[in-house]
Structure 1
């Protein structure tokens, strides 16, 4: 907090909240109790909110919790505040309300430029949905690549990223990791504008990513020309695989296979 009044108010709040001995005890409880071993035993809806630049709790710690608590919802805010009444207070309240009630407050849609990754997984034994069977591995790779899962069903996963390179790297990591368990993964990546309403995404970019997935072979990553042009210099290599007609776009829509060995 840079505001002098807020700083003085917070200092008074701390002085009046606990004695020095109680403050030390609270600090030790928060810093020394290790709950890592019991995280897999948590089977209730869990919301984890983390500030990227939090000076008290590193974002890696928040991501660790989200990766090891099954079904946990992880939200990361830009900023540095640790206190919940700081720079993201309104958004924190909205996210808590959405988590408890299942719906965000009514708000107009927001258009965002995102990289959309579509995944299709096959090969899981005994008819088990591979997306559910490997949910923790998928969640870990998405967190590492700063991706956000927005849909999952019948072996398919849809996720969005801020950068196209990260989405391709995530597709490579998921493909290579799940292949060790006998699961083949097909992937497609496109970048474009989507409309976000709460936690829901819609738009042509998502539809195009799903359409591209139809052209991917097992173990293959397909990317649109837009993605190829935006990741120049990344070290990734692309080979033209074909063209398709896309509603609302003039002419043919070329797509490419990504060399995932780069």
Structure 2
């Protein structure tokens, strides 16, 4: 997978670095906490492997948040509010033309990701939080968090050793030199110290119950300073319907792109796939489909001539559309001399079909009609699926002036005053199995 190009989005005068790579099936915005530099991410074999793994499952949008990496830096005297960072996310999504994205956030990035999901549910498809932090000091709900004196000591360590070989949280030896450069290119010691200080006053616990999007929380079972499994479980307990999955660093470095990388990628991939499947099911509706077709249209057109035939087709269309409105049908498509419509129930659809045949006869137009009830899928504003194919095949088998229905339609109309005549069992082109057809018996 080719290393992506770094580009910039703008929020006012602030530039925000981002990269886009991967499978366009769905959008996944990746917000990396603690360290972040979109250019240097790819210099780590482990981190690059992790990002490429995510890109197999989604169009991966990697960005450096304001103050970090290749994005606009801030001075220690200015740390942006969390709501400013949510605006930055909107700017990046706009730049990559993403109407809605899943968000994968690690560590402290969970703060802005959680707020974004709560405030912009229409722009958030789902949320994946890896070792999330939502508050940094002990509270009655999170008594396990480090104390203020411990944090103050940590902030002093940032000032003294950040980006050097003496930094206490360096990764495995083979990437030690890279990580020192990565840390320095991510944020300055003063910037990180200022941001950590601001986090001590940040608490988004109250936001969590407002998150309504599907949420997956991935937790490292191996405790590490402020990264504690208790926090992940707490976050999941506050977000309606959130699911927790635990993985272990297995005694290795706690950064998620090391020992847990493949497990996180696999879990995230399954989660995103499930979201897509669920959304596809939401776009399936049970309906009765009606197809009509003018009998002998080619011969009639040749006999009447273009102008007279066009006038007759216009009368046909007007009549059919009037009856669709009367019986609450929805016109889905029209191709030349035929109609495709859907109805919420089979009774209205069958009665509409018989009325269409009767109303067109005085115009000298004879039609055939076919109906089937099943699930239709909505894709890109259009409908399709097996039910639609079956309906079209049923209509093609109907005789002139006949309303032919599948057994599904007949069975759903038990108890109605309509009668049906068995037209035998048939194979339908491109449809598995054999299908029994019934003709509506006309008075």
TM-score by length of 2: 0.33
Among 194, 208, 227, the alignment partner of 2:376 is 194
Gaps of 5+ in 1: 1-89, 91-107
1:126 correspondence with 2:305: yes
* 1:158 counterpart residue number: 340
Among 329, 352, 372, the alignment partner of 1:147 is 329
The answer (yes or no) to whether the contact 2:390–2:431 under 8 Å persists in 1 is no
Tell me the distance in 2 between the aligned counterparts of 1:260 and 1:199: 36
1:100-139 mapped onto 2 (5 Å cutoff): 109=280, 110-122=283-295, 123=300, 125-127=304-306, 128=309, 130-139=312-321
Query: What SS class does the counterpart of residue 391 from structure 2 fall into?
Result: helix
1:205 correspondence with 2:387: yes
* 2:17 counterpart residue number: none
* 1:97 counterpart residue number: none
Distance change >3 Å, CA 260–CA 198, structure 1 → 2: farther
TM-score by length of 1: 0.55
1:29-178 mapped onto 2 (5 Å cutoff): 109=280, 110-122=283-295, 123=300, 125-127=304-306, 128=309, 130-178=312-360
The answer (yes or no) to whether the contact 1:131–1:153 under 8 Å persists in 2 is no
The answer (yes or no) to whether the contact 1:221–1:260 under 8 Å persists in 2 is no
The answer (yes or no) to whether the contact 1:117–1:160 under 8 Å persists in 2 is yes
Distance change >3 Å, CA 213–CA 164, structure 1 → 2: same
Distance change >3 Å, CA 248–CA 178, structure 1 → 2: closer
Aligned residue pair count = 154
TM-superposition CA deviations, 1:43-71 (whole Å, max 9, x none) = xxxxxxxxxxxxxxxxxxxxxxxxxxxxx
* 1:77 counterpart residue number: none
Tell me the distance in 1 between the aligned counterparts of 2:431 and 2:399: 26
Following TM superposition, by how much is the alpha carbon of 1:153 offset from its aligned partner in structure 2, in angstroms?
Answer: 1.2
Q: Please tell me the root mean square deviation across aligned C-alpha atoms, in Å.
A: 2.0
Among 246, 256, 259, the alignment partner of 2:438 is 256
Following TM superposition, by how much is the alpha carbon of 1:132 offset from its aligned partner in structure 2, in angstroms?
Answer: 3.2
Gaps of 5+ in 2: 1-121, 123-278
* 1:231 counterpart residue number: 413
* 1:40 counterpart residue number: none
* 2:404 counterpart residue number: 222
Stretches of 4+ aligned residues off by more than 4 angstroms:
none
Following TM superposition, by how much is the alpha carbon of 1:198 offset from its aligned partner in structure 2, in angstroms?
Answer: 5.3
* 1:71 counterpart residue number: none
Tell me the distance in 2 between the aligned counterparts of 1:236 and 1:192: 20
Query: What SS class does the counterpart of residue 114 from structure 1 fall into?
Result: strand
Tell me the distance in 1 between the aligned counterparts of 2:331 and 2:313: 12
Query: What SS class does the counterpart of residue 146 from structure 1 fall into?
Result: coil
